[in-house]
Amino acid sequence: MSKDVMLLSSVPTFMMNDLQQEYVLHDHAHILDPEVFTKVTAFVGVGSAAKVDRNLLAMFPNVKMISIFGVGYDGIDVAAAKERGIQVTHTPDVLTDDVADLAMGLILSIGRRIPQSDKFVRNGDWVSEPFTMTRKVTGTRLGVVGLGRIGQAIAKRAAAFDMTIAYTGRRAKTNAPFRYYPTASELAANSDYLVVAVPGGDDTKNMINAQVLKALGPKGIFINIARGSVVDQTALIQALKDKSIAGAGLDVFWDEPNIDPQFFKLQNVVLTPHNGSNTHETRRAMADLALANLKAFFDEQPLLTLIPECQ
Ligand code: 8YV
């Protein structure tokens, strides 16, 4: 089988180097030879940037596999892929700890105002006045929206901070030792920190809306390490502006990396650049898994980590 692979997005340089050793790589915006469209049998791309719709699939009739670097695959039209018998893989598990670590980091950062404190010290402001008081983390109430792999890893860390944990999701989990609320609004009304850890996509689009933010209230802090699409960002900016919530720690946004400049002026928000899985160790592990899935495909072996819909 020819080893023609199309890149859906840019990938980390070290992964690109590995890909170049094994495959003939194409970038669909720069395909000059029309035969390439029939030669490509696999796509590879970074989860949060890879977009595959029906039109793209129709251009590549022989694609049978999509390897996603990332756990989220909300840019892929999975139904369209399945209709064509295409198998989609992703990289779950290997990034769970890092994303949960960052969620805790954001809770501490915005609660204790660590980046703001750093700025205060650097600016030389400490000599003139004490820093404003911050918010306690230990012993507070954490609401987890989506108690999947990452949600559970966040809960595990929060338990070490003596936080009282509750969650919402499609249904209550029989084995979860935490209180379940059927809606995000009810959970928000009973949380000091509300962290969202659900997949992106149509099912979760704007699920954190003005009503949920209102329920979180003026002492509540919102944390997002999932996808920008799960929050009505217009409502979020408004809530931060009028202080109807206390603050937010955000790793994900609408239209990354061109995020709404209104965020830059807000003092009650900590912003990170979609860094959840961004450690040397985890990005290497994600690349290894994405490459192993690709190799398994070309070796005609079972794929290692199919997305649930393809299992
Ligand atoms: C990104 C992620 O893939 O795994 C996911 O779903 O969002 C991340 O790990 C990564 O940040 C590259 O953009």
For residue 1, the model assigns a pLDDT of 64
Match 């003092």 to its residue by tokens. 267
Domain range annotation of the chain? 4-92+281-310, 96-271
User: At CA 133, angle to CA 129 and CA 137, rounded to 5?
Assistant: 150
CATH 3.40.50.720 fits 4-92+281-310, yes or no: yes
Distance CA 294, CA 69 (A): 11
pLDDT, position 31:
86
The pLDDT value given to residue 190? 98
Q: Output the CA 218–ligand 1 centroid distance in Å.
A: 31
Q: Give the CATH number of domain 96-271.
A: 3.40.50.720
Q: How far does residue 286's CA lie from ligand 1's centre (Å)?
A: 9
Q: Is the CB of 228 under 6 A from ligand 1?
A: no
Q: pTM of the prediction? A: 0.96
**Model confidence pLDDT, tens digit, residues 42-62:** 999 999 899 999 999 999 999
Euclidean distance between CA atoms 139 and 154, whole angstroms: 15
- Strand 141-145 versus strand 269-271 pairing type: unpaired
Asked if residues 289 and 305 have their Cβ atoms less than 8 Å apart, the reply is yes
Q: Residue 41's pLDDT is what?
A: 98
Residues marked as catalytic = 227, 256, 274
Q: Which of 182, 181, 180, 238 lies closest to 209 in space, CA to CA? A: 238
Instruction: Write the pLDDT tens digit of every residue in 135-168.
Output: 999 999 999 999 999 999 999 999 999 999 999 9
Which among 13, 68, 71 is the best mutation to test ligand 1's pocket, defined by most ligand atoms within 8 Å of the CB? 71
Segments of the chain scoring below 50 in pLDDT? none
Omega of the bond leading into 115 within 30 degrees of 0 (cis): no
